[in-house]
Amino acid sequence: MDYTVNSTVPRDFHLLAFNNSKEHHHIIFIGLLLMYLLAVLGNLLIIVLVCLVPQLHTPMYFFLCNLAAQDIISVSAFLPKLMAITVTGDTSISFPVCITQLFLFITCTDGDFLLLAIMAYDRYVAICIPLRYHLIMNPKFFIQLMATSWILCATNAMCYSLLISHLSFCRLNNINHIFCEIISLVKLSCSDTSLIKTLITVDAPLIGIFPFGLILTSYAYIIYTILKMRTSAAKLKTFSSCSSHLTVVLLYGGTCISLYMKPVSESSQEVDKLLSLIYLGFIPVLNPLVYSLRNRHVQSAAKIVFAKYLLNSVEN
């Protein structure tokens, strides 16, 4: 009897999601809906502010705008489907949609790490060599940085997607996760997955550890520069200019370390689901709050847009 089916033939997978909490599905749905709306609206507000307010037309806010766009894409890739599963109980997900989720997840996750490293370099130049900031971080250079980041991440995601799409899968096609996560798909395959596993092994240091090392190096120089400043006021002002970025780095880094470096146990799969939900859903909600509550430039921009566009439209 044939126990495999070629992945080139369209078929459904089943996302088990939070199948152990069916009695609380209404509460889970409301929580997911609020998370999705807050993430999309909050990050959309950041994009609108950066686009409309000239004072925010700087490299740092250009990078922040890209981070907001990545957050919107990532939450839109998996939260609507997760909400549909929670409400209807229909766990099926087609193979093309599954591959699309995988592609967008890898693109945005890789992009987060590279973008945070680029933003750390921007803070390093602004604080450690401020007289050369505008010379180094010119529009052509930072646009090239972002374009390269998007292209590298999309290419990397496409490689994974093509490799997964050519695998054969066993008849048991239940994915015990909240989205089509690559490791879960590899476990279901009846094909030789050694190439994909090798790619993951090589990819992790390049996309994860290397950018994190750049961030640590940048902040080592930043802290050294701050410590050399003579007055406490100057130290506080300088540190506050990078505190929002540092907070986001800790949120992303802490969640990823918890997700991929925790010990394996019987309940590890349910913990993986919760940590993935925090990373993919909750952190995109926090990012706009971090950059608005802790940043007077964003707060000032919000007041300008509110006064210029909303109040004028009401008066007219």
Answer yes or no: do 248 and 116 share one domain. Answer: yes
Give the domain range for residue 200.
Answer: 95-171+181-262
Q: How far apart are CA 261 and CA 238, in angstroms?
A: 33
Task: For residue 31, give both structure tokens.
Answer: 């929580």
Answer yes or no: do 160 and 244 share one domain. Answer: yes
Answer yes or no: do 117 and 87 share one domain. Answer: no
Count structural domains, the chain.
2
For residue 274, the tally of other CB atoms under 10 A from its CB is 14
- pTM of the shown model: 0.87
Sign of CA dihedral 303, 60, 203, 201: negative
Per-residue pLDDT of the chain (316 residues; tens, 9 = 90+): 344 444 444 468 888 887 766 677 788 899 999 999 999 999 999 999 899 888 888 998 999 999 999 999 999 999 999 999 888 888 889 889 999 999 999 999 899 999 999 999 999 999 999 999 999 999 999 999 999 999 999 999 999 999 998 888 876 688 888 888 888 888 888 888 888 888 888 887 788 788 888 999 999 999 999 998 888 888 888 888 888 888 888 888 777 776 666 665 555 677 778 888 888 888 999 888 887 766 777 878 878 877 777 666 655 5
Answer yes or no: do 58 and 193 share one domain. Answer: no
DSSP 28-60: HHHHHHHHHHHHHHHHHHHHHHHHH-GGG-SHH
Q: Could you give the dihedral angle defined by the CA atoms of residues 121, 122, 123 and 128, in that order, rounded to the nearest 10 degrees?
A: 80
Q: How far apart are CA 314 and CA 316, in angstroms?
A: 5
Residue that terminates a domain, selected from 230, 245, 262: 262
Instruction: Work out the widest C-alpha separation in the chain, in whole angstroms.
Output: 78
